[in-house]
Amino acid sequence: MTGTEKISNLEVGYNIPAEIGMTEGDIQTPCLLIDLEAFEKNVERMRYFCAESGVSLRAHGKMHKSADVARYQIKHGGALGICCQKVSEAEAFARAGIEDILITNQVRDARKLQRLANLPKLGARIICCVDDLDNVGELSKAATSIGTSLECLVELDCGAGRCGVTGPVAALEIAAAIDAADGLIFSGIQAYNGNAQHLQEFNERKRAYKAVETVVIEVIEALKQKNLHCQIVSGGGTGSFEFEATSGVFTEIQCGSYAFMDAAYGRILDKSGQQFSGRTFDHALFILTSVMSHTKPEHAICDAGLKVQSVDSGLPTVFDQQDVTYTNCSDEHGTLEDPQGKLQINDKLRLVPGHCDPTCNLHDWYVCVRNGSVEALWPITARGMAL
């Protein structure tokens, strides 16, 4: 385990929530907790599934933004590298020694293009996505001016209506331009449908995936006709990974949330109609919170409000207490319905955040626990990095 062995000049409770060796009861709240056993189990399950399916894993680092988590996924979880979404995240990961990075996004600003082109100098293979012919010239100019080379994937819109080109004609035009451009290498295609990931039923997600696959196969065939070979076909997330991984079409999958899980992913259903939570993957990420007020008999107030979590995908669920429900939040307060009057002042609860990615981005540290004590503190390396 690559724990941060010694944190100097930082004071527990002032700017860090815990120290190594502390018992869980002493951790300062609210903070993010990683249950290491659950995390390691999730990472191993995905490693095994990818190995069995003969597909590579490129874990999405936008979820955790942590060099320690990325290193663990590479060292123990079968990941060949990581994805991220922003140039600043790629810089943080490259500086931390991650050597294979795909930015699953468009880079258009002149300064950002320069920073992107500079990244291979840190020793990393850098891949980015392209969905516009003009961007090919911009990337080529940046790479040649710095003397590096960038790999490019043509991004396809697979139904999310976000970035990406539609159809083989546009994809072919961009791929041929990349192939001909100085400083650029055409590596393949990016095909991710974010809208499909949280569809409740397994068969709904499968149907959405099939629509993606149809587009991808059509584009691969059109490229092949022009001698453009896709070394990389990348896509898939925590809701759809089983389809991409076993397709024989995708070479790598980009799951992010699988390592931590959240309440929204916990609710989607697997093939047998059972919730993902505790079956497909375990909850490994929690907001640790404390009860700080209980002046009303039927509800308690805890210290985890909006400033420590994102509630865009729903409120958090209470992990370790039956009969207690998180029902409301304001900036720094959370309301816990406690009809049986079970909660006491200073009781600590593990909340499962509704949506892990934007929740992690609000914190500086992961407090990693095993058997009730703190084993490591992992800084959230790229926290807040959106540039």
Ligand X SMILES: *Cc1c(COP(=O)(O)O)cnc(C)c1O
The residues binding ligand X (CB under 6 A) are: 60, 62-63, 104, 192, 194, 197, 237-238, 254-258
Q: How far is the CB of 260 from ligand X (least distance, A)?
A: 9
Task: Dump strand ranges (E) for 251-372.
Answer: 252-253, 285-296, 299-302, 317-318, 325-329, 334-337, 348-352, 365-370
- Supply the minimum distance, in Å, between the C-beta of residue 166 and ligand X: 17
**Residue 270 amino acid letter:** D
In terms of CB distance, is 234 or 335 closer to ligand X? 234
- The CB-of-191 to ligand X minimum distance in angstroms stands at 9
CB 77 within 8 A of CB 57: yes
Q: What does the block give as tokens for 229? A: 């070979």
Q: Which is nearer to ligand X, 62 or 350 (CB)?
A: 62
Sequence-distant (6+) residues with CB within 8 A of 139 are: 107, 113, 116, 117, 128, 130, 150, 152, 181, 183, 184
- Please count the residues of the chain: 387
CA pair distance 209, 317, nearest whole angstrom = 29
Distance of closest approach, residue 60 Cβ to ligand X, in angstroms: 4
CB of 159 to ligand X, least distance (A): 13
Looking at the Cβ atoms of 260 and 365, the one nearer to ligand X is 260
Angle between helices 67-76 and 36-53 (to 10 degrees): 50
Minimum distance of ligand X from residue 359's CB (angstroms): 12
Return the number of other C-beta atoms located less than 10 Å from residue 216's C-beta.
Answer: 23
Helix (H) or strand (E) run with residue 229 in it: none
Q: Which of 261, 336 has the CB closer to ligand X?
A: 261
Nearer to ligand X, 29 or 42 (CB): 42
CA separation for the pair 209, 222 (Å, rounded): 20
CB 387, min distance to ligand X, A: 17
Q: Would you say 16 or 255 has its CB closer to ligand X?
A: 255
Q: Which is nearer to ligand X, 17 or 354 (CB)?
A: 354
The contacts of residue 16 (CB under 8 Å, 6+ apart) are 7, 10, 364, 365, 377
